[in-house]
Structure 1
Amino acid sequence: MVPHLVTALTGPINELEQRILDSMPAIERWFRLEWMEHTPPFYSSVDVRNAGFKLAPVDTNLFPGGWNNLTAEMLPLAVQAAQAAIEKICPEAKNLLIIPENHTRNLFYLSNVAQLRRIFYMAGLNVRIGSINPDIKETTVIELPTGESLTLEPVIRTPRRLGLKDFDPCTILLNNDLSAGVPGILEDLHEQYLLPPLHAGWHVRRKSNHFRCYEEVAKRFGKLIGIDPWLINPMFSQCGEVDFSEGTGMECLRSNVDALLTRIRRKYKEYGIHEKPFAVVKADNGTYGMGIMMVRDVKELEALNRKTRNKMSVIKDGQSVSDVIIQEGVITHERVNEAVAEPVVYMMDRYVVGGFYRVHAERGVDENLNAPGASFVPLAFEQSTHLPQPGIKPGASAPNRFYMYGVIGRLAMLAASYELEATDPEAEIYD
């Protein structure tokens, strides 16, 4: 289910909310049957945009950071979900090794690692942090802004296993998205569970694959509750072999942007929407809000300046961009203290465990909020223990609104499970 949250409710999305609430038993049964057939990602986070006239996921992260943004009240849900997830994979688990990103100076990120350590410790595991950063050659203690400290230890690889000095884990949790590829130290492990699996990393994942799977999920879900799938699905297309620094492959980009803007205009006309359509061009792999630009008119692509081309050509860990996804832009009607905001839904195993608002005071409703200057506002819990309340007028209840966001998050998580099944290298052996 979804946490009981309280926040400002804005945006006339009440009809969709009503339809989802009225269909709650059917929706929960449908998810239950899906999870009997498909394995959810170990953990995930989904960026959701509420345009007022549609509600759609725009990004799904399978190595989520930002756990430190969840409030203390949400931790019991995360701990419960962590117990369920570990129980399914390795019921006798005793030791858990967390392998983080190689950032040693990003204290905000390391606070997220400390929160993960806390969640799994409370779930009943001995938890230590093992760094694969070649600069970490000895035990390193880092003081965090929260007043707590985090101990990073260099990992030790034996021929068949990975661990720390005097610490042999049966389970290894990756909080490193493998943008730069898989370090050899993580390969060919024997009788150790690596979560998520290596093929969930950005060296394999493509956003276009994910949204192709999501499109299928949205169509089936739309049929289940009787809505146009477009109301929960951002349309997209994809271009390979684009080189922004050299300016090659731009014809593919222009024609795809033009076709997508035409499709969006058609939908806006059908629904009487008066917003200006836009497309989001972003690297088909990668994260951290890098390699993203908004296009409102195809002519903008003919006049890209050097700065924009440079920004688009490289993403995290210096990886160059050649494949891009062109996604329907979804504006956001959410506001926190008058600043533009978008909800981010956090999940572990098949459960929604919490979320927060990503807020950016200097960005507009049609811009990327995952950018320097963003802040994070926790979603506060309701004082009472209300679950979603069918029968309450749409738009009047925070639990109802966040039940709806949780449904969209879970649809994206289900799409990720389809995606991981399709790219699982071991699955091919049995075909």
Structure 2
Amino acid sequence: MAPHLVTALTGPLLDLEKKILQATPAIERWFRLEWQEHTPPFYCSVDLRNAGYKLAPVDTNLFPGGFNNLATEMLPLSVQAAMAAIDKYCPDARNLLLIPEMNNRHPSYMQNVARLMQIFRQTGLHVRLGSLSPEITEPTPLALPDGNMLVIEPMVRSANGRRLGLKDFDPCTILLNNDLSAGVPAILENIHEQSLLPPVHAGWAIRRKSNHLAAYDEVAKKFGKLIDVDPWMVNPFHARCGEVDFEQPDGLECLSDNVTSLLAKIRKKYKEYGIKDQKPFVILKPDAGTYGMGILTIKDANELKDLTSAQRARMSIVKDGQRISDVIIQEGVPTYENIKDAVAEPVVYMIDRYVVGGFYRVHAEKGVDQNLNAPGSQFVPLAFAQQHAVPDLKAKPGTAAPNRFYVYGVVARLGLLAASLEMERTDPNPEVY
């Protein structure tokens, strides 16, 4: 299903699309060379925002949880990409241990787990589920909405303590679909003989968005030079504040100063590109955190003085009760795509270095400048059908869905490459690379 693209006829994005399509051979060669030097994350999803005047990633998730929202036509591609990913770490792998979120039993999330199991079973692996919850002490059935059943089991360490598995199940590879927001459990530490993917420093107990954004700045500059575009076209401005205390009236000076500075930089760009119908705004979000929690839209620094007690409380704590102290201020990128008059944003999924599909996150109750990753959102698979895998270079910019989806894939892979650099630079054991 190709949604109505409100931005289809706006100039700047058409120019960006045209340049990307014209530079396709150079872009693909550049990615190929980069992947010779860097290892892509095992899997990844990137939230994009199409503002008409720019197309940029606004979030990069290293523990994607929406594989059930991808079009079923994309399953064969997902299986091929998963094979390529597994071959890098354990070519003769027979068993894979999948560790899902500890407390998330939402039907949609469990369907995501089932889809992941389906993908990896098709690669020739025996797949079983292990739990980090101390409440799981024996194999426990979990019902799915379609009537099928998953079984989650308690994990055990081997006699010498060097391997992690289940009773009578010794995996070569351990796949985390748990972002470790609550911390790194002892049972995941000091695993030396198996591949733990993604590594624990990809989890929110250790990972920081500011590291990712710094890496993405570098990637965007290289990409801009490659195709001769302003890197701002694919990269939101950003800043960081540490030691923010939303619960104290005087704890937001750093935020106020950075918001003012960032809004001024955005206005300057708007003036440069003749953008007159959009008011600059920024998004405040925790430097560590996910699930769309702790996010606030700000259009004027003075709004920080008038935050309600409810807003302050919402900005103070994120998933698993973790308190927010470090905050990212990110240029707000409005989304002018919609499906049936509901605001939408594309989310692109990758396994290894390959785009394997995506979906539109749609929210009928949100505006173009608001966070859509919120209760009430719905998902519409992107039309990344096999026939759309290759762009149509003869089509006029903005008229062909394959071209728009190809451009989405290119910008999403910029986020993937930035995540690769981020993981290398924050790895406590850099000799691995």
TM range (shorter): over 0.9
- The residue identity in structure 1 corresponding to 2:78 is A
Q: Is the 8 A contact 2:357 2:384 kept in 1?
A: no
Q: Offset of 1:385 from its aligned partner?
A: 6.0
Deviation by residue 1:255-286 (Cα, 9 ceiling, x = unmatched): 00000000000000111102000000000111
Q: Which amino acid aligns with 2:358?
A: G
CA contact (8 A) 2:55 2:234 kept: yes
Deviations along 1:17-56, one digit per CA (max 9) or x if unpaired, are 1110000000000000000001100000000000000000
Letter of the 1:417 partner, please give it.
S
Q: Which residue of 2 aligns with 1:295?
A: 298
Partner-residue secondary structure (3-state), 1:205: coil
Residue pair 1:355, 1:379 contacting (<8 A) in 2 also: yes
Equivalence for 2:105: 105
Is 1:285 the equivalent of 2:281? no
Deviates more, 1:289-298 or 1:380-389: 380-389
Q: CA deviation at 1:204?
A: 1.4
Partner of 1:423: 426
**Where does residue 243 of structure 1 map in the other structure?**
245
1:268-417 equivalence runs, <5 A: 268-274=270-276, 275-382=278-385, 384=387, 387-417=390-420
Deviation at 1:383, TM superposition (A): 8.1
1:71 to partner: Cα distance: 1.5
Amino acid at match of 2:211: N
Does residue 8 of the first structure (1) align with residue 25 of the second (2)? no
Q: Secondary structure at the match of 2:30?
A: helix
2:129 alignment counterpart: 129
1:13-412 pair list within 5 angstroms: 13-158=13-158, 159-274=161-276, 275-382=278-385, 384=387, 387-412=390-415
4+ runs deviating over 2 angstroms: 5-10, 246-249, 380-386
AA at the equivalent of 1:254: S
- RMSD across aligned C-alpha pairs, in angstroms? 1.4
Q: Letter of the aligned partner of 1:353 in structure 2?
A: V
Amino acid at match of 1:76: P
- The answer (yes or no) to whether the contact 1:6–1:381 under 8 Å persists in 2 is no
Inter-partner Cα distance in structure 2 for 1:380 and 1:337: 16
Describe the shift of the 1:313–1:110 C-alpha distance in structure 2 as closer, same or farther (beyond 3 A): same
| Structure 1 residue 234: Cα displacement | 0.4
In the alignment, the residues of structure 2 paired with residue 251 and residue 128 of structure 1 have an alpha-carbon distance, to the nearest angstrom, of: 49
CA displacement at 1:381 relative to structure 2? 4.8
Any idea what SS the aligned residue of 2:361 has?
strand
Q: Contact conserved, 2:388 with 2:402, CA < 8 A, in 1?
A: no
Q: 1:152 to 1:251 in 2, by over 3 A?
A: same
1:242: how far off? Answer: 0.2
Contact map agreement 1:7 1:380 (CA 8 A) in 2 = no
May I ask how many residue pairs the two structures share in their alignment?
426
CA separation in 1, counterparts of 2:69 and 2:399? Answer: 25
- C-alpha separation in 2, matches of 1:407 and 1:266: 27
CA displacement at 1:249 relative to structure 2: 3.1
Residue 6 of structure 1: how far off its partner (Å): 4.0
Task: Give the 3 Å change call, closer, same or farther, for CA 102–406 of structure 1 in structure 2.
Answer: same
Q: 2:388 and 2:230 mapped to 1: Cα distance?
A: 33
Identity of aligned residues (%): 64
Question: Contact between 1:292 and 1:312, CA under 8 Å: does it hold in 2?
Answer: yes
Aligned-partner Cα distance in 2 for 1:386–1:48:
19
Letter in 1 for 2:373: N
Distance 2:396 2:344 in 1: 24
**Do the aligned partners of 2:384 and 2:405 also contact (CA within 8 Å) in 1?**
no
**CA deviations over 1:45-99 (Å, ceiling 9, x no partner):** 0000000000000000001101110111011111000000001111011100000
State the shift of 1:104 in Å: 4.8
Superimposed CA distance per residue, residues 335-387 of structure 1 (whole angstroms, 9 cap, x where no aligned partner): 01110000000000000000000000000000000001111111235584662
Is the CA contact 1:69–1:378 (under 8 Å) kept in the aligned structure 2? yes
The secondary structure found in structure 2 opposite 1:211 is helix
Deviation at 1:428, TM superposition (A): 6.7
Task: Determine the C-alpha separation between the residues in 2 that align with 1:265 and 1:219.
Answer: 21
The structure, 1 or 2, with the larger RCO (C-alpha pairs under 8 Å, 6+ apart) is 1
Shift in CA distance, 139/382, structure 1 to aligned 2, threshold 3 Å: closer
SS in structure 1 of the partner of residue 429 of structure 2:
helix
For the structure 1 residues 37 and 322, does the alpha-carbon distance in structure 2 shift closer, same or farther, using more than 3 Å as the test?
Answer: same
**Unaligned regions of 5+ residues in structure 1, if any?**
none
Distance 1:190 1:294 in 2: 43
Give the Cα–Cα distance (whole angstroms) in 2 for the partners of residues 220 and 385 of structure 1.
27
TM-score, scaled to structure 1: 0.96
Gaps of 5+ in 2: none
Contact 2:361 2:378 in 1 (8 A): yes
Whether the 8 Å contact between 1:50 and 1:342 is mirrored in structure 2 is yes
CA distance in structure 2 between the aligned counterparts of 1:295 and 1:155, rounded to whole angstroms: 44
